[in-house]
Amino acid sequence: MSTVATLVGLIQMVLQILIWIIVIQVVLSWLIAFNIINSQSPFVRSMLNGIERLLEPLLRPIRRILPDLGGLDFSPMVLILLLIAIQRLLPAILIDTGLL
């Protein structure tokens, strides 16, 4: 297996992990919104803080572009769609250029 193929596989794996982290953040925000879990718990608070610090630099530019929809935040969905597009397009672009 070539080095480029290994690198593409690693990038795709990191993107998939990032997608799962976004899904976890969305589910946690729903659980907090419906008072199923307590956001005052130190474990929950530290978990949310860590996830927000990781994802906020990725979500902020999308939130600036999207219109304000009140209480609805579609930026995680847009980010997931962008990450999936990158996952799918990266190998195709490398195959077209002859690197894979």
pLDDT at 2: 80
User: What is the domain range of residue 26?
Assistant: 3-97
pLDDT at 92: 87
Q: Could you read off the pLDDT tens digit of each residue along the chain, which spans 100 residues?
A: 588 888 989 999 999 999 999 999 999 999 998 999 988 999 999 999 999 999 999 999 999 999 888 888 899 999 999 999 999 998 888 888 877 6
Chain centre distance of CA 65:
17
Query: Domain tally for the chain?
Result: 1
Chain centre distance of CA 57:
11
